[in-house]
Amino acid sequence: MPIEGFDYKGFAASMAEQAKELVPQDLQDFEKEYIVKTLGNFTLLAGEALYNDTSLELTPEQAVFITQVIAEWSFHKSVDLVHSGILPQYWDSIMQKIAFTIFEVAKQAMIRKIPQEQLLQAVEHHVLKVYKQAIEELEQKGVINEDIKNRAESQSNIDAMAQQAQAEQQRRQQEMIEESTRNAEKAQKTREEKKAQEKAEKERAAALATMPQGISHKQMKLMSLALLLKVLSQDKVTTILNKFDSNDSLVISQYMNMADLESHLDGDLVAECLSDMKKSLPIKKKLTQENVLADLLHLYKTNPREKIEKVLKNERPLVKRFISQAYDGEFGNLPLRVAGIVAEYIEESV
């Protein structure tokens, strides 16, 4: 009775389809077709023989195993033949010897109930032996020379695919290692950033704890400004302090003389205070006649005329005339840039 459940036709077709995906892409179309066709034919013939041989009493699994071994070796050795340099008209005879050898060795191993691992070793031994003998026969007949013989015998697609699979596995392992390393570094960086943030928060809390109690926001701003002025030249410090109320200037100067001023301030708070002060600073206007006149008129409204004239006492007549005309809302003959400098000078002097 045939082996029930063993669809050798479907299995052979499946093996041939898989072979199409594995055929080396460097081959010509007729060579690819030969490999796929040879595998399909030998697989189909072997499967049919096993299916109809009731004396073997094989299970469907055993029949599939033997047929698959024939399919795989048919594929590898047909690829080797194509790469060997042997003319195509001699391929079939060599492949027939190989397929028959596989079939007989595998069948006998099944009958003797030899373990599959030993069966595969025996098949490989006999396949390589028959392949080598067939090539040597061609040399003896003068069909091929020694160079082609050596080239043919050196072919091993099964080893090439094993090496390729190993290389692919190593590549994937390397990618996994690199990804794991990146994840570990990222996690470490996250931990370090969190640790640094926690440390900064503790230091800020400690700095706040050591600050004088009841300090106002204005005092904090003056202390922050004093810290900034400590790194400027004396001329710049004087110019800036002159713009403050005398009491505030005195307080700032006292803070600047504090040896441990930094210890009473938190860097984040200083940054916040300086940012607030920057927002409150006047934005420098574009230098135009209208803006210069507007600035001068504002000075005239907020300062006595005698005070302004006192500042201009020693100035040239041209400058004095420009200021006099500005009182009447007229822009004199001074160049715009010079007029802007004069306006800034008066503003800083009154």
In 69-86, which positions are buried (b, 16+ CB within 10 angstroms) versus exposed (e)?
bbbbbbbbbbbbbbbbeb
- As to burial, measured by CB atoms within 10 angstroms (0-12 exposed, 13-18 middle, 19+ buried), residue 133 is exposed
Could you say which DSSP state residue 23 is in?
S
Q: How far apart are the first and last CA of the chain?
A: 122
**Long-range contacts of residues 89-96, Cβ cutoff 8 Å, at least 24 apart:** 90/138, 90/143, 91/34, 91/38, 92/38, 93/134, 94/131, 94/134, 94/135, 95/38, 95/42
- pLDDT value, residue 272: 65
Share of the chain above pLDDT 70, in %: 86
CA–CA distance, 341 with 345 (Å, rounded to integer): 6
- pLDDT value, residue 73: 92
CA–CA distance, 94 with 326 (Å, rounded to integer): 113
Could you say which DSSP state residue 89 is in?
G
Task: pLDDT band for 69, please (50, 70, 90 cuts).
Answer: very high
Render pLDDT for 97-156 as a digit per residue (tens, 0 to 9): 999 998 899 888 888 888 989 999 999 999 999 999 999 999 998 988 989 889 988 888
- pLDDT value, residue 218: 72
Say if residue 13's pLDDT is above 90.
yes
CA–CA distance, 253 with 120 (Å, rounded to integer): 95
pTM of the model: 0.48
CA–CA distance, 269 with 79 (Å, rounded to integer): 76
Q: What is the DSSP string of 335-346?
A: -HHHHHHHHHHH
CA–CA distance, 225 with 281 (Å, rounded to integer): 13
Contacts of 81 (CB under 8 A, 6+ apart): 91, 94, 95, 152, 155
- pLDDT value, residue 280: 52
Q: Average model confidence (pLDDT) for the chain?
A: 81
> In the chain, which ranges are continuous DSSP H helix?
8-22, 29-52, 60-84, 91-111, 116-140, 146-154, 157-210, 217-229, 234-241, 246-256, 267-280, 289-302, 305-311, 317-327, 336-349
Render pLDDT for 193-237 as a digit per residue (tens, 0 to 9): 888 888 767 765 554 454 555 566 677 777 777 777 776 778 777
More confident residue, 239 or 71: 71
Render pLDDT for 276-322 as a digit per residue (tens, 0 to 9): 655 555 555 677 878 888 888 887 888 887 888 787 777 777 777 88
Task: pLDDT band for 161, please (50, 70, 90 cuts).
Answer: confident
- pLDDT value, residue 268: 63
- pLDDT value, residue 277: 58
